Amino acid sequence: MFFPHTPHDREEMLRATGVNSIEDFFTVVPAAQRFPRLNLPQAMSEMDAAQELRHIAEANETTREFACFLGAGAYNHYTPAVVDSILRRGEFYTAYTPYQPEVSQGTLQAIFEYQSMICALTGMEVSNASHYDGATAVAEAISMAYAQFRGKRTKMVLSPALHPHYRTTAHTYTQGSEVTINGDDSAPAAGPEALLSYVDEHTALVMVQYPDFFGRVYDLSALAEATHEAGALFGVAVNPLALGLLTPPGEFGADIVVGEGQPLGIPLSFGGPYLGIFATRKEYVRKMAGRLVGQTVDTRGQRGFVLTLTAREQHIRRERATSNICSNQGLMMLAVTVYLSALGKHGLKQVATLNYHKAHYAASRIAALPGFSLWQPKTPFFNEFTVQCPVSVAEINAHLLEHGILGGYDVAQDYPALQNHMLLAVTEMNRREEIDLLVDVLAEFAQEDSHE
Amino acid sequence: MSEPLLNELSQVGRQGVRYPAPDVPLADLPDGLTRHDLPLPEVSEIDVVRHFTRLSQLNHSIDTGFYPLGSCTMKYNPKINEETARLPGFLWVHPLQPVETVQGSLALMYHLQESIKEIGGFAAVTLQPAAGAHGELTGVLIMRAYHAANGHTERKKILIPDSAHGTNPASSAMAGLQVVQLPSDARGNIDLAALEAECDDTLLGLMLTNPNTLGLFDEHLEDIVRLVHDAGGLMYGDGANMNALLGIARPGDLGIDVMHFNLHKTFSTPHGGGGPGSGPVAVSAALADFLPAPIVDIIEPGDEELPPLYGFVTPKHSIGRVKAFHGHFGIFVRAYTYILMHGAEGLRQVAENAVLNANYLMAKLKGTYPVPYERPCMHEFVAEGQVEGAPDVRALDIAKRLLDYGIHPPTNYFPLIVHEALMIEPTETESKQMLDGFVVALEQIAAEARTNPEVLHTAPHNTPVGRLDEVKAAKELILTWE
């Protein structure tokens, strides 16, 4: 354990405070509840704890052993060694929020560089220092849109192809407010233009996903334009890795870009911690929640960085703040910053392109199997696509698992109309042999189907 | 200092990490949907390593020095936590894998839930919230849902003491509640008369940080709980200061109905330069059905030969998800490692030593700096950043001068109810020698304040940069390198 006091220190310190025993500090605690006996396991040495944790971890089967084709919002990507090497620096991970800029320039400049690269990637003008994850970034976009119209527009139109967790999180966040969430969650087959029927003069925000939950990539410029004609804000939730290849939302009229930063070098880690990307146009910067770093100079004339526009935040505005956020995903933000700088202009395009080609190879081979077909074969996709299967996804996945393959996501869990639809993700991690193995095992179902 | 920006290091054609060539046939790229330019920097791997290493060296951190930052619990972050969180079995697991393949992760979450219930005296817990403020929002939404389920939609008033963190009122406002601020009395407790006057049938509940941000345990806690419960309200506990109560008292036993824990404060997970945190929310039995979904439970009991089967369950009246997936799992591993290494006795020693360190510092400093509430504190205390005989010197000057001594300043100008507040939380992991060094530094600064106040006004002098022009930053708003 981590208490440095010697018995001698402790005695001297007690004497200095004028009490006889440590228990005397706690007489203010109601006596009946004071010093409970906690029923916890016996304390372990570091060696024993390390072994216990290793034992627990070994009960998991990992994407390192499986061939992983599971995505649906979290992706199995390669993280270059340099990323964790930097994250392991105690000067970064044991630092607090950079409230004292004179001794926090490392964190502050890293945030400034993160903001710069997120803007470059999304085509937006300003980015905050991050939210918790993609889902909460969507919820914050809703709060921002509500604040932008000062409560006069309360309708939020969410695409049914927005990640189901993001939509349910938005519902949770808004349950105490007058905001309404609109859109037909049961009709994800329609393209983005179907959202227009929900847009009217009360609409504050139209939010789509790009690529969407099913992997589809649409040209969203017409929807953006129509949204603006209705006077509403246009929000896009992105997979940032896809933007290594695809047109950035800033070029087709997005007012808010949010997204899950996990694909940019953050380990799967059973769902977190990840990173919520949030970027917007400069005119909305004062309505954007979250930490923000700006460039300035110090008393010696040197360039330096500080937290800025802090008057927007909860510690100043309290109940009048538009968001309660008090942290950012500091270390995950750093991971993404190191990842983007290590890959750079060419590396990110290279890995995005690899994802694209491998996914398209897998899709074309699966689509050729009797009984299997792509759900919407004419719609472009990035590294994820939806397949209509001859039998239930659960049955297929159980069989794939026996062959060491982590199959795709069962879309029917969230969209009951799409029984037997599997969402498959293919990344740079999937070697061609893995894809071929997947196709071979899937082919067993195709054959069974054709014999019947 | 002045470390160049990455775009200034960039050289056309340079690349850090390379990937293999495609081993599949190439597909046509989608027409009209691809980008023309990707304006990211072009640097080599060694550029990246040196750049971020040099940046790291511009930071103060727990690993490099004392961090007595009130309300933030900047305790030592054990290195073993970083090892266990990176075990391949934990790191390379997808959140949507079949539960049969993630029994290790689920077992860890289950046992962390059980530990938090036991430590806090609660019936159920969600690990989903991503941070303390996120836990607050979750907690007040649970309170709101509980009253609504009992037909009390008129209960919208939430009482928040004036010493509370800004997140408390902000979280309540997000949940659509009406915030009423409660004053503190002369001893730093909640003003009971003011509380009583607000206890009516519109009361949703009270958000209590106890010990509060003055580092004081409320002397009327039992009265407060009784008044709120008698009026039909619920007690929310802000767990920011739980480090003072580990093994000392269980908030659930004291009458708290719902509470968030900060794993990054109390349970030693690193602050990471601003996150990620983790803010589990624990509740009494009456509120268990309202927790966010999903939570981990035993689906099939084990026996002598087989471990139980863990899985996810959805509470009956769940408020829904508060984020994607299951919470900050990597943080759970660190916190659970910490709990395993301490056990019941060790956790109590955490609180005892934290409280001893704070009282020791208060005793040593109260002759030099005024301490407005003079009674034993818990894990932190608030002093006034004023020096007799140096009227121009403010808390800010003292804070900035401390940087020259290699010490991170205390939280300043918070809580708002103390004039020129310096909020000091040493934590249990600091030695007497470190605390004594801090006292000497603050005494020297007080002496400087009298003899040479200019050295304080212009501080810091020994840091990588001097005081920064925050007005210029807000006015010019340079937020990216372009």
Q: What is the pLDDT of residue A449?
A: 46
Q: B77: which 2 tokens?
A: 């972050």
How confident is residue B213, by pLDDT bands cut at 50, 70 and 90?
A: very high
CATH number at B192 reads: 3.40.640.10
Asked whether residue B434 is domain-assigned, the answer is: no
Asked whether residue B438 is domain-assigned, the answer is: no
For A418, the domain range is: 67-75+345-451
Chain A nearest-CA residue for B336: A53
B126-175 pLDDT, tens digit per residue, is 999 999 999 999 999 999 999 999 999 999 999 999 999 999 999 999 99
Contact (CB, 8 A) for B184 and B161: yes
- Residues of chain B with C-beta less than 8 angstroms from the C-beta of A249: none
Please choose, from the candidates A333, A340, A294, A359, the residue with its C-alpha nearest in 3D space to the C-alpha of residue A76.
A359
CATH number at A352 reads: 3.90.1150.10
Interface check B343 vs A, CB under 8 A: yes
Q: Do A289 and A376 sit in the same domain of this protein? A: no
Chain A, chain B: beta-carbon pairs less than 8 Å apart? 678
Q: Do A333 and A349 sit in the same domain of this protein? A: no
Q: Do A217 and A157 sit in the same domain of this protein? A: yes
CA-to-CA dists, residue B371 to B189, B380, B381, B418, B423, angstroms: 16, 12, 8, 10, 10
Asked whether residue A113 is domain-assigned, the answer is: yes
Q: Do A270 and A405 sit in the same domain of this protein? A: no
Asked whether residue A187 is domain-assigned, the answer is: yes
Quick check: B1 pLDDT over 80? no
Q: What is the pLDDT of residue A120?
A: 98
- Closest-CA distance, A337 to chain B, in angstroms, reads 10
Last residue of a domain, one of A286, A321, A338: A338
Task: Measure CB to CB from residue B466 to each of A93, A299, A332 and give the nearest one.
Answer: A299
Q: Do A123 and A170 sit in the same domain of this protein? A: yes
Asked whether residue A394 is domain-assigned, the answer is: yes
Asked whether residue B99 is domain-assigned, the answer is: yes
Asked whether residue B252 is domain-assigned, the answer is: yes
Q: Which residues of chain A have pLDDT under 70?
A: 447-452
- Closest-CA distance, B478 to chain A, in angstroms, reads 5
Q: What is the mean pLDDT of residues B314-332?
A: 98
- Closest-CA distance, B21 to chain A, in angstroms, reads 8
B77-86 pLDDT, tens digit per residue, is 999 999 999 9
Please choose, from the candidates A182, A156, A73, the residue with its C-alpha nearest in 3D space to the C-alpha of residue A414.
A73
Asked whether residue B307 is domain-assigned, the answer is: yes
Verify whether the Cβ–Cβ distance B49 to A105 is below 8 Å.
no
Q: What is the pLDDT of residue A451?
A: 44
Q: What is the pLDDT of residue A447?
A: 62
The span from the CA of A360 to the CA of A374, in Å, is 11
Asked whether residue A200 is domain-assigned, the answer is: yes
Mean pLDDT of chain B: 97
Higher pLDDT pick, B342 / A310 = B342
Q: Do A330 and A269 sit in the same domain of this protein? A: yes
For B55-121, what is the HEC assignment?
HHCCECCCCCCCCCECCCCCCCCCHHHHHHHCCHHHHCCCCCCCHHHEHHHHHHHHHHHHHHHHHHC
- Residues of chain B with C-beta less than 8 angstroms from the C-beta of A271: 95, 324-327, 329
Q: Do A374 and A290 sit in the same domain of this protein? A: no
- Residues of chain A with C-beta less than 8 angstroms from the C-beta of B74: 96
Verify whether the Cβ–Cβ distance A35 to B273 is below 8 Å.
no
Verify whether the Cβ–Cβ distance A100 to B325 is below 8 Å.
no
Verify whether the Cβ–Cβ distance A36 to B322 is below 8 Å.
no
Q: Do A284 and A385 sit in the same domain of this protein? A: no
- Closest-CA distance, B389 to chain A, in angstroms, reads 26
How many domains is chain A partitioned into structurally?
Answer: 2
What pTM was computed for the model? Answer: 0.97
Quick check: B373 pLDDT over 70? yes
Q: Do A122 and A251 sit in the same domain of this protein? A: yes
Q: What is the pLDDT of residue A27?
A: 97
Please choose, from the candidates B211, B224, B120, the residue with its C-alpha nearest in 3D space to the C-alpha of residue B164.
B211
The span from the CA of A363 to the CA of A86, in Å, is 37
Q: What is the pLDDT of residue B75?
A: 98
The span from the CA of A162 to the CA of A184, in Å, is 11
* Angle of the A7-17 helix axis to the B329-365 helix axis, nearest 10: 50
Asked whether residue B481 is domain-assigned, the answer is: no
The span from the CA of B236 to the CA of B245, in Å, is 16
Asked whether residue A290 is domain-assigned, the answer is: yes
Q: Do A226 and A329 sit in the same domain of this protein? A: yes
- Residues of chain A with C-beta less than 8 angstroms from the C-beta of B35: 243, 245-248, 251
Asked whether residue B419 is domain-assigned, the answer is: no
Verify whether the Cβ–Cβ distance B320 to A171 is below 8 Å.
yes
Please choose, from the candidates A271, A276, A186, A198, the residue with its C-alpha nearest in 3D space to the C-alpha of residue A237.
A276
Asked whether residue A246 is domain-assigned, the answer is: yes
CA-to-CA dists, residue B75 to A17, A303, B32, B198, B330, angstroms: 22, 32, 53, 38, 19
- Computed on alpha carbons and rounded to an integer, the radius of gyration of chain A in Å comes to 25
Q: What is the mean pLDDT of residues B204-216?
A: 96
How confident is residue B285, by pLDDT bands cut at 50, 70 and 90?
A: very high
The span from the CA of A66 to the CA of A268, in Å, is 14
Q: A338: which 2 tokens?
A: 């190191």
Asked whether residue A9 is domain-assigned, the answer is: no
Place of tokens 């990054």: B264
- Closest-CA distance, B390 to chain A, in angstroms, reads 23
- Residues of chain A with C-beta less than 8 angstroms from the C-beta of B105: 60, 270
The span from the CA of A84 to the CA of A265, in Å, is 9
Q: B140: which 2 tokens?
A: 């007040």
Task: Measure CB to CB from residue B274 to each of A119, A165, A328 and give the nearest one.
Answer: A328
CA-to-CA dists, residue A75 to A42, A72, A430, B259, B445, angstroms: 38, 8, 12, 33, 53
Verify whether the Cβ–Cβ distance B93 to A270 is below 8 Å.
yes
Whether ipTM exceeds 0.95: yes
Asked whether residue A30 is domain-assigned, the answer is: no
First and final CA of chain A: distance in angstroms? 65
Q: Do A292 and A410 sit in the same domain of this protein? A: no
Verify whether the Cβ–Cβ distance B34 to A268 is below 8 Å.
no
- Residues of chain B with C-beta less than 8 angstroms from the C-beta of A217: 30, 33
For B286, the domain range is: 80-341
How many domains is chain B partitioned into structurally?
Answer: 1
Contact (CB, 8 A) for A328 and A291: yes
- Residues of chain B with C-beta less than 8 angstroms from the C-beta of A143: 174
Q: What is the pLDDT of residue A448?
A: 53
Q: Do A357 and A210 sit in the same domain of this protein? A: no
